[in-house]
Structure 1
């Protein structure tokens, strides 16, 4: 293949500094030229590979590891072409170094899913069989693969390897291990690991808080945050810590606690300096049910400091409370400002607000502008909002037409929404047609219960009995319902469908602790 006629592209890419000082690249100027261009396209990579093999540089593990990294990480995608090419490059390396093994584990571990994660684990085992010792970067890549599969047993095995191979004091590996336990849903092991860690940085604390919030263990997350504040020996919270903590406050609906958090943020100067904190404040106040505070925070932000997420947060706050007209007014203000282009999330909350407020014409108009004016391709969730909007308005035929003409196959949420509308309108014929589509899906949810109720409304008790018999042994246990109420700054939780019927949570954080934290920063 002719390499000498390779012309540089018009677009210039910055070359890493180490390339100019590397002796190997200095001895091979053409290698440096190709290295600069190979990260642009897959075709340039092929030219670099041709030169490497013709010049005999393929015997150099450093050069081959760079080729492998470019093929998988810099040019890698999900179509399988680069991955297959990268695997072929890897097995051409006579003695792969740890960087090459880590690249393979990182690539397959990043995709997620059972198959790709299994490949990543298999490369790790193969690496051990070649007596290659992992380094501190191997385990984070491997744990990413474990987290994608939510395999707790696999995470525990990696934990054993971390300890046996002497990384028990490596904070980078331990933080990744902590996050993997939380992603796998095991808070017990996460707590044990966290308490056993001799040294903890703010990433350790933030990982535990955010992980507990993602598992709906908001009370525990707030207790961790309180423990972080009162201990003078631990690092001060950062922006990510505060955002995660505000999410816990919003989920629990404690306005008093949110006011304490707001006070802390203002004293620390984060409200004026970081827009993401303001956006989290707006979202948390809205979740607590206090739209006045959310709107006040939004209005106090200067126009130049507002971003798209600020507008989306306040629109979402009004949407979850069924204030559809207010959402439309805010959306109109954002469009008139002309500084931001709404994204798919913004349109999703607007359509959700229209659906809950019965604004059919407005919702259809916005859905149309989404594709015609802003060139945003609707996702399943957008179609679900439109189907729900039409179904709530009794426009079953239009909703059914949208489901039939969607460019993608409808999921259970969309079909379930249409089925619920059929029940409200007593349209048994269309409901049976929707059920036939749901039967083709792996998950059926509560569709059979809705169909049974529809038959009961029509006094077709034989079919009701038949469906109920089929449901026995198939229905999965429902997650317990939760209700929260705040009385004198104490959040009381009532759980239905669970052995625990009542639980009190002391969530009040003293202002003294907040002031101490502010002074320490």
Structure 2
């Protein structure tokens, strides 16, 4: 329980202190204690000193076991630390112990997640082949992990085929959203919209906030402005989903890309939630592209006041002064960057 508390704080020093106590008290062979300690170190992966390296040391010193739990914990730690290559290497190491330990569903989900992070279709296809050999039937979680992997690695058609052929009772909104998101990422906005229509016509799941983020993003990237507006309106009206900052960001991006700057500005000004800096910069940049220099300059100054240490804000404001031939103001803007030790990259 103490190690669980350390996991919640994600601080390295308490974990090391408890580790010493475990050694002194002779619990070095207790699988439950060692797994808890391994998990605690994995939760400290971002700490100075590198909790993940301590996790690996604990893992290497653990007694050999038939359980996949410690392997899964360390894989999860590597994913948390954004180290997908290490997940692949650890899985291959696990295979060398195939006589004593077998990967379980959690192992395979994390392996597929690592393939997704790497964007490696070759590795992902290899993982799928392994799963097909080892698993008699796939759970919803494994189907969704496969669909997500293929969507992110570029084989959206394979992801779509999996969605259509998986047992209906295992198909969840996560399955649909992953394919819609993959279509969005790879510039297939109309396919994404068609799939969404198929979902609401009888897909057996109800769209959620994440589904609409993927859908609106697809509309924005492919210039489907009217469709995007209709879907945005349907969120609250038909599905009771209150638009969040991500949905407004998609709409602002869509309107800005389409050159509908006045609508984008109006949407930001009327947002029921405080627009974040990303949205403000998006609209300001659209104003510059559309020649609305005074409006954009005002937004740029507001951004600098809100986030004086953010380089992108100073660069954006300075670009307005160049466009407006306001050379003195540009000099002041560059001086402000120097004062705050901000260097234009």
TM-score (norm 1): 0.60
> Which of 128, 138, 149 is 2:2 aligned to?
138
* Alpha-carbon spacing, 1:237–1:475, altered in 2? closer, same or farther (3 Å): farther
Of 270, 291, 309, which aligns to 1:426? 291
The answer on whether the counterparts of 2:144 and 2:175 sit within 8 Å (CA) in structure 1 is yes
Larger radius of gyration: 1
Distance change in 2, residues 1:351/1:443 (3 Å): farther
Bigger drift between 232-241 and 467-476 goes to 467-476
Rounded Cα–Cα distance in structure 2 between residues aligned with 1:154 and 1:443 = 33
1:298 aligns with 2:163: yes
Unaligned 5+ segments in structure 2 are none
Residue aligning to 1:257 = 123
Name the CA shift for 1:407/1:225 in 2 (closer, same or farther; >3 Å): same
Q: Is the CA contact 1:391–1:417 (under 8 Å) kept in the aligned structure 2? A: yes
Q: For the Cα contact (< 8 Å) 1:423–1:450, is it kept in 2?
A: no
Structure 1: distance between partners of 2:178 and 2:321: 42
**Which of 268, 278, 303 is matched with 2:134 structurally?**
268
Contact between 2:309 and 2:342, CA under 8 Å: does it hold in 1? no
Q: Distance in 2 between matches of 1:477 and 1:229?
A: 48
2:32 matched to 1:153? no
Change over 3 Å in CA distance of 1:165–1:409 after alignment to 2: farther
Instruction: After TM superposition, give the deviation of residue 441 of structure 1 in Å.
Output: 4.7
**Is 1:376–2:241 an aligned residue pair?**
yes
Counterpart-to-counterpart distance in 1, 2:295 and 2:101: 60
Give the aligned partner of residue 415 of structure 1.
280
Measured after TM superposition, the shift of residue 165 of structure 1 is 4.6
2:39 corresponds to 1:179: yes
Residue correspondences, number: 337
**Structure 2 vs 1, CA of residues 393 and 232 (structure 1 numbering), >3 Å: closer, same or farther?**
same
State the 1:376 CA deviation.
0.7
Asked whether 1:239 is paired with 2:111, we answer no
TM-aligned CA distance change 1:139 to 1:405, over 3 Å:
same
Q: Deviations over 1:411-460 (max 9, x none)?
A: 22222222232232232222233234432258736222222223223333
Which structure has more helix as a fraction of its residues? 2
Deviations 1:89-116 (CA, angstroms, capped at 9, x unpaired): xxxxxxxxxxxxxxxxxxxxxxxxxxxx
User: How far off its partner does 1:369 sit?
Assistant: 0.4
1:228 equivalent in structure 2: 94
Cα distance change of structure 1 residues 471 and 146 upon mapping to structure 2, 3 Å threshold: same
TM-aligned CA deviation for residue 189 of structure 1: 2.3
Q: Which runs of 5+ in 1 are unaligned?
A: 1-136, 479-521
Contact 2:7–2:41 (CA under 8 A) maintained in structure 1: no
Report the CA distance between 1:233 and its aligned residue. 5.3
**Are 1:228 and 1:234, in contact at CA under 8 Å, matched by a contact in 2?**
no
The match for 1:104 is: none
1:322-337 counterparts in 2 under 5 A?
322-337=187-202
Output aligned runs, 1:360-371, within 5 Å: 360-371=225-236
CA distance in 2, matches of 1:161, 1:431: 60
- Looking at structure 2, the residues matched to 205 and 456 of structure 1 have their Cα atoms a distance apart, in angstroms, of 56
